[in-house]
Amino acid sequence: MSDSKNLSSTERIKQKSDALRGTLVESLEDEITGAISEDDTALLKFHGMYQQDDRDLRERRAEKKLERLYSFMIRLRLPGGLMTPQQWIATHHIAGEYSTGVIKITTRQTLQLHGLLKSRIKPTIKAFNKVKLDSIAACGDVNRNVTCAAHPMQSPIHEQVHAYAARLSELLLPKTRAYYEIWLDEVKITDKIQEEDPLYQDRYLPRKFKIGIAIPPNNDLDVLINDLALIAIIENDELKGFNIAIGGGLGMTHGNTETYPRLATVIGFVAGEENLFKAVYEIATIQRDYGNRSDRKLARLKYTVDKYGTEWYKTELEKRTGFALEEARPYSFTDRTDHYGWHQNHKGLWYYTPFIENGRILDDETQALKTALLEIAGTEKANFRFTCNQNLILADISKKDKPAIEKILKKYRILENTEAASHIRKNSIACVALPTCPLALAEAQRYLPALLDRIEPLLAKHELSDENIIIRMTGCPNGCGRPFSAEIGFVGTAPDRYNMYLCADHEGTRLNKLYKENLDEAAILKELDLLFWLYKKERGHGETFGDFSLRQRWYKA
Ligand code: SRM
Ligand code: SF4
């Protein structure tokens, strides 16, 4: 069981929080500061928000003896990443009225708004609530947004599998009414029994907990990086059940060898809805009871699995559920990318995936994406599905409505921009990083597009422009843009410096390895020039860049 003597400070904050209420109401009312109290910042995460400040302005404000420019980021809970056109319209207006206006699609197929001032949080949540959207448990030591394979056109039973994302999200929601009381002015409940929480109890989980559901052969969500990965097993177009894998997670700390990225290990197969739900629930209770509660850096499920062993975890799970897992069923992933442009499913419905660089939805000099999406939502002829590659699929469009949507896409240069984007750019991900992320050591989404401007000519020089190389960048080793499962991964170490990782596979079943440390842009480009030259010259037939890098042993011993 977890050490209850040496609890981290966050454990104590959770425990004395009165079911996540803390002093959030008082913090909100405090007009002296744009911030909330320190303990409340930990609790706010469970309500789907983070306190941040504009790091670009820190020094200037400090010189003027001004408080940091505090603001808040809100992340929606959107299991499986599905939104109606009406919900999109509301999100568009909320973003414009209360946040920076930019809507960010995240790597867990939901949306974030940045730059909300303290006084705007409540109106924002109320406006989302009107269209049945919330941010409960989008952050914090609870189950996070459940991700699911995004491509409906790829499987006739996509809807059936997709429904599990919403139901698992419901199953693992905290029972507290704090969110409704604080943000939506629901009357405070006096009967505490109503919010007793057998799963989370009073200390919640030791750390964040992530679930993903893949539908092979596509692995667009990088399912094995989740604490709990479910892999749908489909035979003869029928859903038979799910393989269960545990212990994925990417975060690490530079220089701390006790921390590491890890892919989930498959422990068995489960058939039937009741058993699946039981297994998911009990995997969470084991982590609750055995996860590390004294050192948050070692508190994710992956460390619990490695401390006690996979077999132990499985045995404990079977003891708690009362049934044995079956032997894992065969499956294989062949693809991890989004499918840009128009595609049609088995029912004849159409899907369009535009290229959205790093998930940032805004109007700029190349295209009027935000305006186009508002106009498309206004037609009510397309649903919005977000992908874990920070993209959007305009979904479920009938043959009759396709020309109208296409006309809008053309008018605002979305078609043109999507067609023009290079393969490597379409396979890129960058995390938010500066200026809002407090943990960023280097730039990511503000820099990767410019770096790609310089990488594209190198690929052209070596006649590799048509290769689908997966490239990702993050501003620190927490791994939010999943750089450790990229064929070329850049992880920030300091301003303008990155560690470079190579050797992951194309399908998301092998992590990469450290190749070179602390490279600046000139060094990155020099390395890539050489690596691309060798790849072009010596690759085997159809060999991917990641597989070639591994064969060449391009990693530090
Ligand atoms: Fe993340 C923390 C952004 C996906 C691992 N992540 C953060 C914070 C909240 C920084 C903080 O703690 O104050 C970042 C907010 C930046 C900002 O200004 O918005 C942040 N993470 C993101 C997003 C928005 C990146 C993006 O550009 O899309 C993704 C939001 C996902 C969502 O909708 O829920 C995001 N984060 C991930 C992923 C990828 C995934 O889940 O597919 C990972 C790696 C997988 C994993 O969990 O191991 C990830 N984020 C982390 C970690 C490392 C956790 C660890 O085990 O060590 C942190 C730091 C922490 O928790 O202490 C972190
Ligand atoms: Fe911030 Fe690091 Fe996550 Fe990027 S990887 S968003 S820099 S915590």
Omega before 174 cis (within 30°)?
A: no
Identify the pLDDT of residue 189: 72
Q: What whole-number distance in Å separates Cα of residue 419 and Cα of residue 414?
A: 9
Q: Where are the CATH 3.30.413.10 domain residues in the chain?
A: 1-6+141-336, 427-551
Q: What whole-number distance in Å separates Cα of residue 455 and Cα of residue 335?
A: 23
Q: What whole-number distance in Å separates Cα of residue 114 and Cα of residue 152?
A: 29
177 catalytic? Reply is no
Identify the pLDDT of residue 192: 72
Specify the range with the lowest mean pLDDT, choosing from 139-143, 154-158, 223-227, 409-413. Answer: 154-158
Interval between CA 235 and ligand 2 midpoint (Å): 39
Q: Where are the CATH 3.90.480.10 domain residues in the chain?
A: 49-135+337-421
pLDDT band at residue 3 using 50, 70 and 90 as cut-offs: low
Identify the pLDDT of residue 155: 72
Interval between CA 480 and ligand 1 midpoint (Å): 4
In the sheet that holds 488-494, the strands lie side by side as 428-430, 471-474, 488-494, 497-502, 513-519
Percent of the chain with pLDDT over 70: 99
Q: What whole-number distance in Å separates Cα of residue 313 and Cα of residue 325?
A: 12
431 catalytic? Reply is yes
Does 210 contact ligand 1 (Cβ within 6 A)? yes
3.30.413.10, 3.40.50.170, 3.40.800.20, 3.30.450.20: CATH of 1-6+141-336:
3.30.413.10
Q: What whole-number distance in Å separates Cα of residue 481 and Cα of residue 12?
A: 30
Mean pLDDT for all residues in the chain: 96
Does 404 contact ligand 1 (Cβ within 6 A)? no
* Two structure tokens written together for 332: 């294989």
Q: Which of 53, 75, 208, 432 to mutate to test the pocket of ligand 2 (most atoms within 8 A of CB)?
A: 432
Q: Which of 297, 437, 445, 493 to mutate to test the pocket of ligand 2 (most atoms within 8 A of CB)?
A: 437
Interval between CA 274 and ligand 2 midpoint (Å): 37
Going from the C-alpha of 420 to that of each of 22, 143, 345, 542, the distances in angstroms are 50, 38, 25, 24
**What are the pLDDT digits (tens) for 217-276?**
999 999 999 999 999 999 998 999 999 999 999 999 999 999 999 999 999 999 999 999
User: Considering only the top CATH level, what class is 49-135+337-421?
Assistant: alpha beta
For residue 491, give the ligand 2 atom closest to its CA: 5
Q: Which of 429, 431, 497 to mutate to test the pocket of ligand 2 (most atoms within 8 A of CB)?
A: 431
User: Considering only the top CATH level, what class is 427-551?
Assistant: alpha beta
Give me the catalytic one of 148, 388, 431, 503.
431
Interval between CA 191 and ligand 1 midpoint (Å): 35
DSSP 163: H
Q: What whole-number distance in Å separates Cα of residue 464 and Cα of residue 449?
A: 18
Residue that is written with structure tokens 């408080």 in the block: 67
Q: Which residues contact 444 (CB under 8 A, 6 or more apart)?
A: 430, 431, 432, 433, 434, 473, 474, 475, 481, 492
Name the 3-class secondary structure at 478.
coil
